[in-house]
A and B are shown apart, each in its own frame.
Chain A
Amino acid sequence: MIEAQTHSPIKVGLFITCLADLMRPQVAFAAVALLERAGCRVRVAREQSCCGQPALNSGDRASTMNIAKSVIRAFSRDDFVVVPSGSCADTLINKYPDLFRHDVRWAGRAQGLADKTFELTTFLVDQLGAELDQVSYPGVCAYHDSCSGLRELAIQQQPRTLLDRVEGLSIRELEDGNACCGFGGLFSVKYPDLSGRIVSDKCAQIAQTEADTVLGGDLGCLLNIAGRLRREGRDLKVFHVAEVLAGMADGPAIGEAESEDKA
């Protein structure tokens, strides 16, 4: 575990993730707030866009390597890189080193990035042992463990540990919580019928818990789940776990309209 020195705060680079950047900036703001409250100095590299998963999962190694190189360069100055997404963190931590396994020039740099990269909740719990500010969220929450985070990075307990300290919040587990939500990035675009079918199963399980809120650590899954819940006419709120932990879950949830006075 890292010991924060009073004189030299922990320098963290935030990997925003393309979905948070474009779709839900508040997730990144929440991540910044959480890291700052935990004593980190957060830097947001301007030269970042996406981790490259769409190319990687389409089998386009060359494009992925180009993107990976730009990510490796962009974060070369940071002591740590924190990612508010299990699947993007997995890409940086596990997939980049594998891509450059046979590239003598880049293998070391890719491993260097991998070694200092952490998913947000694991960084807060496992690395910092952070005691977050007391926040409250009055809600019964179903937690969706996203697949890459769960299976490649063993993220399961960390978000629950953090959520345990949120006042008024309780967690209900899904019957088959290890099941995929059907997002799968481009899978949901290439095979929308299949994806739609899988997410409707997921939503049925969520509904079974009688929770009023869905939380998770990966925006892709959450957009998918929120989109399906809205289509089914269910009024569950969907938030990224960081939004709740940072006390930023008082505005519109994912897929929810802005309130009249704001809009």
Chain B
Amino acid sequence: MSVSTASQRVEFQERARQALQDTSLQRALAKARGGFVDHRLDAIEALPEFDAIRDAARDIKNHVLANLDGYLELYEQQVIENGGQVHWARDADEACQIVAGICKDVGAKTVTKGKSMVSEEMHLNPVLEAAGMTVVETDLGEYIVQLAGETPSHIIAPAVHKTREQITDLFHEHHSPLGYTDRVTQREALVNEARSVLRERFVTADVGITGANFLVAETGANVIVTNEGNGDLTSCLPRVHIVTAGIEKVVPSLDDLSVLLRVLARSATGQEFSAYTSLYSGPRRADDIEGPEAYHVVLLDNGRSRLLGGQYQPMLRCIRCGACLNHCPVYGSIGGHAYGWVYSGPMGSVLTPLLNGFDQSLDLPNACTLNGRCKEVCPVRIPLSDLLLKHRVEQHERRLSPGFGRFLLGVWAWLACRPRLYQGVMALPLRLMYLLGRRRGVLAWLPGAGGWTGSRDFPAPAGRSFMRQWQNRKVKS
């Protein structure tokens, strides 16, 4: 494994700095922040059984992961019985080749996509485009970021980082050639314009690609949850329906599915239930008058199978609701793109190093205050902040963390185990800081902690430590 740490660090920190200075991004994030938190809280306060359902959801996921090979086989059998095909992909490239191959075989020109984070993980769009196909994202948020030449910055709200003004500009630029020459600025008009443009795409697409929130072993169905209905139009109208899904998405039965659905929408948007939850299995049946002629599922591993049985296995319980993003102060400050890969926020900081390589994302597990709110809100009780700490341990033990910091920490820890010496060594800097700061009560600049005092003062310490004062007090009494 290469040790390319320095440049990676700079990249995250640089992206984070740019994000903090991006006024449009900051305005968009500020607008989004409170809503998700409040709506989720309202939804769970209305459901006394929420915690019991979360426990059940966690247990179902644990049971599936402990028997993942078996459930995948059962699921596969059902898909085949329904007339569909299952493809297995070890990594993103393999998955892209499978999807591109299916599209080429049917002579696809236009491909519509319902939102699929796995296809983002695969970097599928460029592969299809290189093969001459037009790829259209149909989730409104994902469509907006596609027009902008970007990637989603949030699992369930891909364009959360875009302001209405930016969306107006994008639509005007891209829709004018299609005849929509009026510059629309109101939310309703923007939604209507996208509806009209995309409707044309839905009905002319040759292949529809969706993700899967769940795969049901009992029936062989893929489950797709949306509010817009774009996933359904992508699944129903084209000649071929391709589902891309991570191998961890399988659930045993419809009853298990119910448990997970009860926590998904509440955690994601604070809804009891999303507008559209659909189960699709296999191609159109013999006497159906519509529906795809072929149905393919591409199961992507991409490093997931290696995580089973290890300390990061709980991460595979993730149902991609985005609650941890919505409650993360770091995500709320910089948005998703600064994280550098398809998954962001706490779940991204855990998952990215696992799927992409530890040395590729050294900052992510460290850029966290360990406040634990992600763990608190997770609908399947993934101990996200604990997993981030495990990453830090692994970085330390593999000596991936910066050397100078490790050295300072080592010296400090050595001292901390020798309290009397520690107290002696601390006395001098303490006295100095006291003398420098006592007039104002704070220090506006502190050697060695320049960053800290970039945005806040450093409260001056008392001149002498408690331990010193306590010893003196004891002597006096």
Q: Which residues of A contact B (CB under 8 A)?
A: 16, 18, 20-26, 28-29, 44, 46-50, 52, 54-61, 63-64, 66-67, 69-70, 74, 147-148, 151-152, 175-176, 178-180, 182-185, 187-201, 223-224, 226-228, 230-231, 252, 254-258, 263
Contact A25 B462 (CB under 8 A): yes
The chain A residue with its CB closest to the CB of B412 is A54
Taking A16-B466, A61-B393, A184-B370 as contacts, is the C-beta distance between A193 and B423 under 8 angstroms?
A: no
Q: Are B456 and A59 in contact (CB under 8 A)?
A: no
Inter-chain contact A49/B422, CB cutoff 8 Å: yes
- The distance in angstroms between the C-alpha atoms of A258 and B461, with both chains bound, is 11
Assuming A223-B459, A227-B457, A255-B457, is B397 touching A25 (CB within 8 A)? no
Q: Is the interface of A mostly helix, strand, loop or mixed?
A: helix
A189 with B451: CB separation less than 8 A: yes
* A97 nearest CB across to chain B (Å): 14
Tell me if B's interface is mostly helix, strand, loop or mixed.
helix
Q: Can you list 5 A-B contacts (CB < 8 A)?
A: A22-B430, A64-B413, A67-B413, A147-B372, A227-B459
CB distance from B110 to the nearest CB of A (A): 42
Counting contact residues on chain B (CB < 8 A from A), the size range is 35 or more
Judging by beta carbons under 8 Å apart, are A231 and B456 in contact? yes
CB-defined contacts of B16 to chain A, threshold 8 Å: 191, 193-194
Rounded to whole angstroms, the CA-CA distance of A198 and B328 in the bound complex is 10
A198 touching B330 in the complex, CB below 8 Å, given contacts A21-B467, A47-B419, A180-B369: yes
Contact status B417-A67, CB under 8 Å = yes
**B254 close to chain A: CB less than 8 A:** no
Please tell me if B449 contacts chain A, counting CB pairs below 8 Å: yes
A102 CB, min distance to chain B CBs, angstroms:
13
Do B369 and A193 touch across chains, with their CB atoms under 8 A apart?
no
Do the beta carbons of A196 and B419 come within 8 Å of each other? no
Known: A23-B462, A198-B333, A255-B460. 8 other contacts (CB 8 A): A16-B467, A22-B465, A49-B419, A59-B397, A64-B413, A194-B367, A231-B457, A263-B439
Of residues 375 to 428 in B, which have CB atoms within 8 Å of A's CB atoms? 375-376, 389, 391-397, 401, 405-406, 409-410, 412-417, 419-420, 422-423, 426
Complex contact A189–B449 (CB within 8 A)? yes
Whether the pair B20, A60 counts as a contact (CB closer than 8 A) is no
Closest B residue by C-beta to A191: B367
Residues B441 and A258 in contact, CB atoms below 8 Å apart: yes
Residues of chain B with a CB closer than 8 A to A74's CB: 419
Residues of B within 8 A of A (CB): 13, 16-17, 20, 34, 37, 329-330, 332-334, 366-373, 375-376, 389, 391-397, 401, 405-406, 409-410, 412-417, 419-420, 422-423, 426, 430, 438-442, 444, 449-462, 464-467, 469-471
Q: Which A residue sits closest to B423, measured CB to CB?
A: A49
Using Cβ atoms and an 8 Å threshold, which residues of chain A touch B440?
257
**Chain A: minimal CB distance from B324 (Å):** 13
Contacting residues, chain B, for A194 (C-beta < 8 A): 16, 20, 330, 333-334, 367
A5 CB to nearest B CB, Å: 25
Cα separation A21 to B392 with both chains bound (whole Å): 28
Instruction: Knowing A25-B462, A179-B329 are in contact, say whether A197-B455 is a contact too (CB < 8 A).
Output: yes
Q: Which residue among A66, A69, A74 has the maximum number of chain B CB atoms within 10 Å of its CB? A: A66
Q: When chains A and B are docked, how far (Å) is the Cα of A193 from the Cα of B19?
A: 11
**Taking CB as reference atom, which chain A residue is nearest B444?**
A231
Residues of A within 8 A of B366 (CB): 187, 190-191
Bound-state CA distance A115–B171 (Å) is 61
Contacts of A28 in B (CB 8 A): 466, 470
Contacts of A59 in B (CB 8 A): 389, 391-397, 401
